[in-house]
Amino acid sequence: MTPIQVPIVERVLNANDQIAAKNLAVLDKSGIYGVNIMASPGAGKTSLIMQTIAHLSPAVSMAVIEGDTARVTIDADLIRGTGIPAVQVHTAGGCHLDAALIADALSQLPLDRLKFLLVENVGNLVCPAAYKLGTHADILIASVPEGDDKPFKYPAIYRGIQALILNKVDLLPYVPFRMDYFRQGVEMLNPGVSFFPLSCKTGEGMEEWIQWLRQKIQPQI
């Protein structure tokens, strides 16, 4: 809040953007398409990753960087169980991933053998929006039980994304959710953003998301 703190924050953000640009160059050099998945806790980041692996692997060689605030390997273990390379990044209580953490994780992956990288950010609708990681796309997973007013309440994260997934559409009969109101908020903040309503549980709508990814990922040589 004091004037002296503003330059410090700006310097940190600029440093992050510089490292993010380097990460993007590293991915591009290997022809890897990178996606940063952001969401509220429990919206279905790991479920979407598991479903995406099931649809694309082994035809597409992929890896996962798994962000967690705590030193738990629940999600990383689940992903490694599929045979996909997974690196866990532990933020030590931190509320977002940053480009430097991704740079470290990239150095531990077999980049020359990959075409696709999924990054699971920390479950948080606020802080991750301010830290670019150097992926090609930033994706947000909203979920039906979170409610239809989230674009209005967390606008920053809705503004910066290239695709929006609305997960848990199988719960639409059981919770109040006005789809028109939700879409209105999204369109106000991010007109024309790619939108995929789906259910990781039932598989409904998954094919459209997978098709969108297939168009972005470079063909395997």
Binding site for a copy of itself (CB under 8 A): 1, 5, 8, 40-42, 68-70, 72, 74, 93-95, 100, 122-127, 130, 143, 145-147, 149-150, 152-156, 168, 170-171, 174-175, 201
Q: Cβ closer to a copy of itself: 31 or 145?
A: 145
In angstroms, what is the minimal distance from the CB of 38 to a copy of itself?
A: 12
Q: What is the DSSP string of 78-92?
A: HHHTTT--EEEEE-T
- Separation of alpha carbons 86 and 114, rounded Å: 12
Within a 10 A sphere around the Cβ of 5, how many other Cβ atoms?
Answer: 9
In angstroms, what is the minimal distance from the CB of 131 to a copy of itself?
A: 12
- Separation of alpha carbons 195 and 209, rounded Å: 9
Q: How far is CA 94 from CA 70, 127, 134, 154, 165, in A?
A: 9, 10, 19, 19, 25
- Separation of alpha carbons 71 and 92, rounded Å: 8
Q: Which residues contact 192 (CB under 8 A, 6 or more apart)?
A: none
Sign, CA torsion 39/40/43/47: positive
In angstroms, what is the minimal distance from the CB of 187 to a copy of itself?
A: 16
Q: Cβ closer to a copy of itself: 173 or 219?
A: 173
Q: Cβ closer to a copy of itself: 28 or 149?
A: 149
Q: Cβ closer to a copy of itself: 202 or 211?
A: 202
Q: Cβ closer to a copy of itself: 44 or 205?
A: 44
Q: Cβ closer to a copy of itself: 3 or 219?
A: 3
- Separation of alpha carbons 139 and 120, rounded Å: 10
In angstroms, what is the minimal distance from the CB of 113 to a copy of itself?
A: 30
72, HSE (Cβ side, Cα atoms, 13 Å): 8
